[in-house]
Structures are given as structure tokens and as C-alpha cells.
Structure 1
Amino acid sequence: MPKVIFHKHGQVFEDEVKPETNLVVRAGIKQFPYPNLRYECGMGKCSKCACKVLAGAEHLPPPNWKEKKQLGERIDQGFRLACQIWLTHDIELCQEEITA
């Protein structure tokens, strides 16, 4: 089962998830990484669930058109939309604070 390491607010949260898991779907039904994952629409339209991939990016499919539209050059910095990825391997993510 994929292991997820999630960094936020200087804390680290870890858990295992079933293969083909989407973290926004899990958070929506109040499972890990709820309540720590920031998200909103779950459809790739708002980018609130953007996370920087610290490890495991090589196992993810290429960014889709929604990610390219919402993240732009942030993709080159390692960001992905959590709502658009389904985990099949271990991954380490960091969600930064939104700055105005």
C-alpha cells in the first residue's frame, strides 16, 4: 500500500492508503489527510489543493491540462494538484500556506 508523508505547518503526517487513492476524496470523507489538506472544489478548477511533491514524482503520470492551466510554471517547481492525482506508489508532499 502506498505510504503518504504530508508536511504542513512544520508538522509531518504519515499514513498508508489503498492503491489508486486520491487524497482530496479521502479528505472529503474525513479520512487521512483530513483535516490537514487544504482543498475546495476537487475538480482541478481552484488549485487550493496544490502541493509540492518532495519524493515520488517519478511514479506520477504527467500533469494533465487542468494542472497545466492552474499551476503554470509552478509545475516546473514540483507542484501538482492533489485532486488530480491517484496514488499508486509512496509519495511525500508539502502544502505551503497561501500568501496574499
Structure 2
Amino acid sequence: MPVVVFRRNGESYRGEVKENTNLVVRAGIRQFPFPHLRYECGMGKCASCACRVVAGGEQLPPPNWKEKKQLGERLDAGFRLACQLWIEHDIELEQDELPAAGS
């Protein structure tokens, strides 16, 4: 089973998930070991679930059109939308606080 390491606000959470798991779907049905994942729509429309992939990104498929539209240049910095990722391999993600409006 894939191991997910999720970092947010200086804290680190680690847990196993079943193969082909979507973290936002699991969070929505309360079967996710990391309660601090920020997300909203779950459909790639809002980018609230944007995370920087720290490790394991080479195992992910290329970004889809929703990620390209929402993340733009942030893709080059290693960001992906958690709602669009189906985890099949170990991965480490980091999600910082949203920047203040106007930043």
C-alpha cells in the first residue's frame, strides 16, 4: 500500500492508503488519515487543494488540463491538485497556508 506523507503548517502526517486512492475523495468521506488537507470542490475548479509534491512526483501521470488551467506556472514549481491525483505509489506532499488576498 502506498505511503503518503503530508506536511502542513510545520507538522508532518504519515499514513498508508489503498492503491488508486484519491486523497480528496477519502477526506470527503472521512476515511483519510490526514485531517488537515485543505480542499473544497474536489473537481479541479477551485485549486484549494493545491499541494507541492516533495517526493514521488516522478510516479505521477502528467498534469491534466484542469491542473494546467488552475496551476499554470506553479506546475513548474512542483504543484499539483490533490483532487486530480490517484495515488498508486509512495508520495510526499506539502500544503502551505493560502496567501492573503492581494498578495
TM-score by length of 2: 0.94
Equivalent residue of 1:41, what SS? Answer: coil
CA deviation after TM superposition for structure 1 residue 36, in Å:
0.6
Question: In the alignment, which residue of structure 2 is the partner of 1:27?
Answer: 27
**Whole-angstrom CA distance in 2 between matches of 1:3 and 1:34:** 12
- Report how many residues are paired: 100
Partner deviation per Cα, 1:17-71 (whole Å, 9 max, x = no partner): 0000000001001122442100000000000000000000000000000000000
Gaps of 5+ in 2: none
Equivalent residue of 2:44, what SS? Answer: coil
Question: In the alignment, which residue of structure 1 is the partner of 2:46?
Answer: 46
**Whole-angstrom CA distance in 1 between matches of 2:64 and 2:71:** 11
Contact 2:6 2:34 in 1 (8 A): no
Question: In the alignment, which residue of structure 1 is the partner of 2:98?
Answer: 98
**Whole-angstrom CA distance in 1 between matches of 2:90 and 2:58:** 10
Q: 1:20 to 1:32 in 2, by over 3 A?
A: same
For structure 1, which segment, 74-83 or 29-38, has the greater mean C-alpha deviation from structure 2 after superposition? Answer: 29-38
Question: In the alignment, which residue of structure 2 is the partner of 1:14?
Answer: 14
**Paired amino acid for 2:36:** N
Question: In the alignment, which residue of structure 2 is the partner of 1:76?
Answer: 76
**Whole-angstrom CA distance in 2 between matches of 1:30 and 1:7:** 19
**Whole-angstrom CA distance in 2 between matches of 1:27 and 1:45:** 17
TM-score by length of 1: 0.97
